[in-house]
C-alpha cells in the first residue's frame, strides 16, 4: 500500500494535481454536454467553472514542478469517495438540470474538496503538506462560498427552477 496523502508530500501533491485536473476536465465535459442539449445557461456556467479550475491546475502544477511525484494508477488514489472529491458525478447531470441544481452540485463538490484538504492539513505532521493542504482548503472554501452566494442571488430572481421540456424524449407507440 502506498503512503497516505497526509504522510508523503509527493503523494499529497499527486492527489492535488489529479483532483484539480479531473475537476477541470469534468467541468469542460459538463459544459460540452449542456451545449449539445441546448442548455445554454449551464453551458456558460460550467465553462466558466472549467476556466477557473484550469487556473488551479496551473497553480498546483507549478508547485509540483519542484517535487518528485509518484505515478499513481487511477484506482490507487485514496479518495474518501469513489471519485476525486471535486468531480460532479456523471449521473447527477440531466439535460433539464436547472441553474439551482447545478450550483447545488458545485457547492457540494467544493465542500467535499475543502473537507479533503482540511482533514489532510489536520493529520499531517510534515510542515509543507500542512501548509499546502491549508492553502488549498482555504481556496476550496472560497469557491464553496461563491457557489453559495450565487445560489442566494438565484433565489431572489424568480422562475429559475421551472422545468419545461421543449423536446421530450419521444417513445413511439
Partner 1 sequence: MKPKAYKSGVKPIWCPGCGHYSVLNAITKALSVLDQQPEDCVLVSGIGCSARLPAYANAYGFHGVHGRALPVATGIKVARPKLNVIAMGGDGDGFSIGGNHFLHACRRNVDIVYIAMDNEVYGMTKGQASPTTPELWDHSKLTPHGPEVRPFQPCSIALASGASFIARGHSGDPNGLAKMIYEAIEHPGFAFVHVLSQCITYCPEQSEWKERVHDEEVVTADPTEAATFLQREDGFSKGVFYRNPRDVWPMPHQPPQDSNLRKGFEL
* Among residues 83, 86, 114, 140, the one that binds partner 1 under rule CB under 8 A: 83
**Closest of 133, 29, 115 to residue 79, by C-alpha:** 115
* Among residues 62, 66, 68, 91, the one that binds partner 1 under rule CB under 8 A: 91
Q: Is 33 a residue that touches partner 1 (CB under 8 A)?
A: yes
Q: Is 90 a residue that touches partner 1 (CB under 8 A)?
A: yes
**What does each C-alpha distance from 54 to 12, 90, 120, 161 come to in angstroms?**
19, 20, 23, 29
Q: Centre a 10 Å sphere on the Cβ of residue 6 and count the other Cβ atoms it contains.
A: 21
* Options 1-9, 60-68, 73-81, 151-159: segment touching partner 1 (CB under 8 A): 73-81
* Options 4-12, 55-63, 83-91, 125-133: segment touching partner 1 (CB under 8 A): 83-91
User: What is the grid cell recorded at 55?
Assistant: 487556473
Q: Is 38 a residue that touches partner 1 (CB under 8 A)?
A: no
**What does each C-alpha distance from 19 to 80, 95, 135 come to in angstroms?**
12, 25, 15
**What does each C-alpha distance from 173 to 60, 101, 168, 170 come to in angstroms?**
54, 32, 15, 9
From residue 136 to residue 155, what is the string marking binding to partner 1 with x (rule CB under 8 A)?
A: --------------------
> Phi and psi of 60, rounded to 5°?
-70, -40
39 vs 53 by CB, closer to partner 1: 39
- Residues within the interface to partner 1 (CB under 8 A): 25, 29-30, 32-37, 39, 73-75, 77, 79, 82-83, 89-95, 97, 169-173
Amino acid at each position: 500500500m502506498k503512503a497516505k496523502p497526509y504522510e508523503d508530500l509527493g503523494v499529497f501533491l499527486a492527489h492535488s494535481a489529479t483532483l484539480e485536473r479531473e475537476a477541470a476536465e469534468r467541468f469542460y465535459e459538463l459544459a460540452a454536454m449542456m451545449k449539445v442539449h441546448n442548455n445554454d445557461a449551464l453551458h456558460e456556467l460550467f465553462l466558466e467553472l472549467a476556466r477557473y479550475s484550469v487556473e488551479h491546475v496551473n497553480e498546483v502544477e507549478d508547485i509540483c514542478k519542484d517535487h518528485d511525484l509518484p505515478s499513481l494508477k487511477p484506482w490507487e488514489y485514496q479518495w474518501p469517495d469513489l471519485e476525486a472529491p471535486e468531480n460532479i458525478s456523471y449521473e447527477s447531470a440531466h439535460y433539464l438540470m436547472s441553474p439551482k441544481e447545478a450550483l447545488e452540485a458545485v457547492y457540494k463538490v467544493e465542500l467535499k474538496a475543502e473537507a479533503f484538504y482540511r482533514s489532510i492539513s489536520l493529520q499531517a505532521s510534515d510542515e509543507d503538506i500542512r501548509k499546502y493542504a491549508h492553502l488549498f482548503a482555504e481556496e476550496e472554501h472560497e469557491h464553496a462560498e461563491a457557489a453559495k452566494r450565487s445560489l442566494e442571488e438565484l433565489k431572489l430572481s424568480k422562475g429559475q427552477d421551472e422545468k419545461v421540456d421543449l423536446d421530450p424524449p419521444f417513445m413511439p407507440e
